[in-house]
Amino acid sequence: MEKIKNIDIYELGSPEEKSSPWSSTILILKLTSSNGNIGFGEAPTTLMTLPVKESLREVSRIFQDKNYFNIEKNLREYYRNAFYLSKSIEETAALSAFEIASWDLIGKDLGAPIYNLIGGQFNDKIKAYSNGWYSDCVEPEDFVNKAKALVNKGYKAFKFDPFGNNYDKISNDGLRKAVDIVGSMRDALGEDVDLLIECHGRFSTKYAIRVGEALDEFNPMFIEEPIHPEMELGLYEFKKYVNTPIALGERLLNKEDFARYISSGMVDIIQPDITNSKGILEAKKIAAIAESFGTPVAFHNAFGPVQSAATVNVDYAIPNFIIQESFEESWPEWKKKLFSGYGVNNGYFELSGKPGLGITVDEKLLEKSRVEGMEPLGNEPPWVVSGTYSKPS
């Protein structure tokens, strides 16, 4: 029986991260098994690097010396001890990293990629949509010019937040500006390119409806988190007036949360984040719940390379996959080079097919990229793409 022998936690980062300041640091987990194999996991950071890092240490108390094949048993053991797990993203993030790293070890022990262990390859092509690409975009032409450069690289889908510094409410000028940006993107890129509207959960219900009604004419693929997440009942009112499908899920932490949203009709496309909703097996369960209601899955994926590799392994295996988020084009060089074995080619994700996650680490770069401390608090909220949100005067 193989066990988890050594546990190492890496906080990595650099000031080069510009387009996605929430991932200016990433947390990588390295598990070494008693047979010498190594498995990697990742936990998300969004101005909470240090709390998640500490939670990784707490979760390690449960996983140390455990048989990593016993994923259900190990997760349940932590659940039994963690009184606030259902509401704590710090805990679920840490737990997800251990779960993902366990699967990486299992795949390496068995000589199989993870997707072959969770149902096999259902999807041959994993279409990516680019995010993080629109740093410093303010005017419609800024968005169009940057998007066109990525169209030339093969991308046919773009997510973006056109709302500037409007928060909770949106002014008439702010709404006109958003319409100009989305309309210009549609005119310039045509109907064959998917436009995905990011709201970042910033609006109250009344103003979210104004936004949704105004953007319907441009036929977005979805509108993401149009309403403040704690005001979820407003989604029912939103759907009365807006035709664009609602997508959400990066702030939901488990299959039970998703079951409530899906079964009650609050969401049209779900976006679980594998690194904060308990990992790969839970993702497969969430996708199965969604499949039973005819709901597509578009996993949230905004942090680092281990998250991407883990997510695409699940994408390969689920029948209701629709599209996959990608920040790869916007990463600094160190993050692009940290792991090899997967990538985005001509607008589609590809995995190596090697055992486990299918990725290989650059050990020297892993050590060189170590940092200490939390992401700095700047002039913009940490959840926006840099240069797109200025504080109101």
3-state secondary structure of 371: coil
Pairing label, strands 126-130, 324-326: parallel
Q: Calculate the alpha carbon distances from 329 to 241, 286, 313 in Å.
A: 35, 28, 20
Per-residue H/E/C for 264-324: CCCCCEECCECCCCCHHHHHHHHHHHHHHCCCCECCECCCCHHHHHHHHHHHHHCCCECCE
Rounded CA-CA distance 278/41 in Å is 11
Contacts of 390 (CB under 8 A, 6+ apart): 164, 165, 379, 380
Choosing from 53, 127, 239, 300, the catalytic residue is 300
Rounded CA-CA distance 85/71 in Å is 17
Rounded CA-CA distance 222/245 in Å is 5
Beta bridge partners of 273: 300
Rounded CA-CA distance 148/189 in Å is 7
Choosing from 146, 200, 255, 278, the catalytic residue is 200
- The question of whether 228 is a catalytic residue gets the answer no
Rounded CA-CA distance 378/161 in Å is 19
Active site residues: 200, 300
